[in-house]
Structure 1
Amino acid sequence: MKRRTWGLTLVVAGVAGFLGWALPPGMRTAAAQAAPQAAAQGAGKYPDHPIRLIVPFSPGGGNDNVARTVGRRLGEILGQAIVVENRAGAGGTVGAETVARAAPDGYTLFLGGVGSHAINPNLRKNLPYDAIKDFAPITLLAQASMVLVAQPSLHIRTVPELIALARKEPGKLDYASNGNGSSSHLAAVMFATDAKVQLTHVPYKGLSPALTDLLAGQVPLMFSSVVAILPHIKDGSLVPLGVTGSHELPSLPGVPTIASQGLPGYETSSWYGILAPAGTPRAIVMKLNQGLNEALQDPKIRESLAGDGAEPAGGTPEQFAEHIKREKDRLGQAIRQSGLQME
């Protein structure tokens, strides 16, 4: 018996299965329901050993930073370590599939986001998981604007200047992204569609190689998370042209929104949330939800997220589930309008 809660579920389920053939329909239903109810009641002992938190991207990016910042505090609240495990690959698909197939016992969690739960379902064929059916949403952690940056060698400082340059030289301006179908890729596609310009996509296998070539001048443009790009903006290596959200960011004072620079309908952002495999007992989901909401009230956590350009969220599992559905529908419409397809 690896885990007490899971073991109890198996015992009760076995008894229910053994008796089910001889029971009337009403009692058969009650017996079948006993297993999940027993598992929920056993959540009082949860967690009794470390919890894995799967991050579907490489270390060092915004997703990884949020997971480690919030995970550390959640571990203190629950009294067990939260072990962050990076499972990068296929735009977040590898990590998401890992969790979707994990035991629903609360010991494998997922840092899901706009890529895994809103972009991939609309863009990737034969996705090995169902973003809605295979997960139990727990809490929306934070939402974060991205920032559009340019190489100083382009000699532009605003979005209108970029648009003018792109129209003068259609298709000659390259932009880097974290990979095909990533949030940085989609942000650029939506920008090009709204601005009616042609930009050439240069996909990379993650943030680190994309940022390396951006800083080296191999590509002149990129949409990126604030946490990854902020040090290079501060030292003058990159020029911020605009942020993708609905308002300016405290971490980037004086950098206007893209929408305010002639593209009033433009807005997109990254978001992060914690999910568990579908079928995780409600009592465990609520215990995690309570712990995460408490962690998000910690001034140090809020300060850390704000420094990364992220705004703490929180809320109920039901609110997070609705957010996922709404974002999936919204970005699906944007993808169809842009004609974006996986390369």
Structure 2
Amino acid sequence: MTIVVNGGAGSLPDIFARPLGDRLSAALGQPVVIDNRPGAGGMVAMQQVKNAAKDGHTLAVVTNAHMVWNPYVFPKLTYDPATDLMAVSPISVIPMALVVNPKVPAQTTAELFALAKKAPGTLNYASSGNGSPPHVLFEMLREQAGADIVHVPFKTGTDALTSVVAGDTQIYLAGTSLVEPMAKEGRLRVLAVSPKVTAPTFASAPTLQSQGFDGYESAVWLGLVATAGTPPAVVQRLNDEVGKALKDPAMRQAMLAHGALPYHASPAAFAQRIAAERATWGPAIRRLGIQPN
């Protein structure tokens, strides 16, 4: 079996794919290879699964971006997530934190957006690239707040984080595991999280939902997909084994240590979630005019 990862070795999808692959290998009695295929907004990785045999032997780790957002971001997407890929199982939810450089005179999200409205176009926010989760999610947040804040894209999340800590940019909506060290040291100020996070660094932060922002209950997720047309019995067996793997204490602890919340559901429930998110996010992304780098 092969699990294709749109990310390099050491990326968050890769970190989760490897122990999951080990457990699937043991359960299914066959080797599982992790194939890292970063780049092109996930198109390289998704095409590999799209063109694979319909037997469940080639899977891919996906996020909202691959299954929900990309059709509305990339004008020439080389795969159709609705017809070329099949939902197998979600793996985790990635909590997000809205943080600012401490020099920004805002202690809450309300103060941040009031500041932005008072001086439109003077605040800026970092992201890990056009069409990335931090970009799409913050654009939705900015639109709901009715604020004019300038987007500054970077090549990686680490580059974006470095810019906010240095004060070159001011705002970042990113995974809690990425920003936690800097927030713990006081080099970033946490304004809100989504969903609720119990880690001490974020425990006192309100959720974005409680601040009146919709669509952030579990803003970013990871999951597994197979080639469309894979037999339902094969998909169900894979889903069952993923569910067992996510109950493994060592696997759960590894995910929690990287700021992820284990999340399992049936193939049908996962597919329904993806379809519902397309209906919600697709029109918004088109309206906002989000385009790739």
TM over 0.5: yes
Partners of 1:118 and 1:255 in 2: how far apart?
A: 28
| SS, match of residue 132 in structure 1 | helix
Match for 1:249 among 181, 186, 197? Answer: 197
Choose from 52, 66, 81 the match for 1:116: 66
Aligned to 2:118: 168
Aligned equivalents of 1:207, 1:168: Cα separation in 2: 29
Offset at residue 266 of structure 1 (A):
5.3
Which residue of structure 2 lines up, in the alignment, with residue 138 of structure 1? Answer: 88
User: 1:265 aligned to 2:206?
Assistant: no
- Distance, in Å, in 2 between the alignment partners of 1:182 and 1:264 is 19
- Give unmatched runs, 5+ long, in structure 1: 1-50
Give 5+ residue unaligned stretches, structure 2: none
- Distance, in Å, in 2 between the alignment partners of 1:169 and 1:296 is 47
The Cα offsets for residues 283-329 of structure 1, whole Å up to 9 and x where unpaired, read as 43232112101111112323333344433222222222212111111
Q: Give the secondary structure class of the aligned counterpart of 1:326.
A: helix
After superposition, the Cα gap between the structure-2 partners of 1:253 and 1:61, relative to the gap in structure 1 and judged at 3 Å, is farther
Equivalent runs, 1:88-103 vs 2, <5 Å: 88-103=38-53
Q: 2:26 matched to which residue of 1?
A: 76
- Could you say which residue in structure 2 is the equivalent of 1:277? 227
- Which residue pairs with 2:260 in the alignment? 310
| 2:100 aligned with 1:150 | yes
Code of the residue aligned with 2:6 in structure 1: it is: P
State whether structure 2 residue 254 is matched by structure 1 residue 291.
no
TM-superposition CA deviations, 1:17-51 (whole Å, max 9, x none): xxxxxxxxxxxxxxxxxxxxxxxxxxxxxxxxxx3
Report the residue type matching 1:133 in the other structure: T
CA deviation profile, 1:139-171 (whole Å, cap 9, x unmatched): 111222311111122243321221122123211
Residue 166 of structure 1 aligns to which amino acid in structure 2?
A
Structure 1 residues 212, 97: closer, same or farther in 2, change over 3 A? farther
Alignment of 1:238 onto 2:204: no
Q: 1:238 deviation in Å?
A: 1.7
Q: Deviating runs (4+, > 4 A) in structure 1?
A: none
Match for residue 218 of structure 1? 168
CA distance, structure 2, for counterparts of residue 69 and residue 162 of structure 1: 40
Aligned residues: 290
Q: Which has the larger radius of gyration?
A: 1
Paired amino acid for 1:267: Y
The answer to whether the 8 Å contact 2:2/2:58 transfers is: yes
**2-side partners of 1:156 and 1:82: how far apart?**
48
Distance 1:58 1:185, change over 3 A: farther
User: In structure 2, the residue corresponding to 1:289 is in which secondary structure?
Assistant: helix
1:98: Cα distance to partner? 2.2
Aligned to 2:270: 320
- What's the TM-score once normalised by structure 2's chain length? 0.89
In structure 1, which of residues 187, 203, 214 is the aligned counterpart of residue 137 of structure 2? 187
Structure-2 change in CA distance of 1:174 and 1:64 (3 Å): farther
Q: What displacement does 1:81 show?
A: 4.2
Distance 1:76 1:232, change over 3 A: farther
The alpha-carbon distance between structure 1 residues 78 and 238, as it changes in their structure 2 partners (threshold 3 A), is farther
Q: 1:74 to 1:234 in 2, by over 3 A?
A: farther
Q: Which has the higher contact order (CA 8 A, sep 6+)?
A: 2
Query: Root-mean-square deviation (CA), in Å?
Result: 2.2
CA distance in 1, matches of 2:31, 2:97: 33
Deviations 1:56-104 (A, max 9, x none): 1344443333323433333333344433332221322222122212233
Tell me, what secondary structure is at the counterpart of 1:71?
A: helix
Taking structure 1 as the reference length, what is the TM-score of the superposition? Answer: 0.77
SS in 1 for 2:21: helix
On the 8 A contact 2:130/2:291 being kept in 1, the answer is no
In 2, the alpha carbon distance for the partners of 1:296 and 1:182 equals 26
CA distance in 1, matches of 2:22, 2:164: 32
1:250–1:309 Cα contact (<8 Å) kept: no
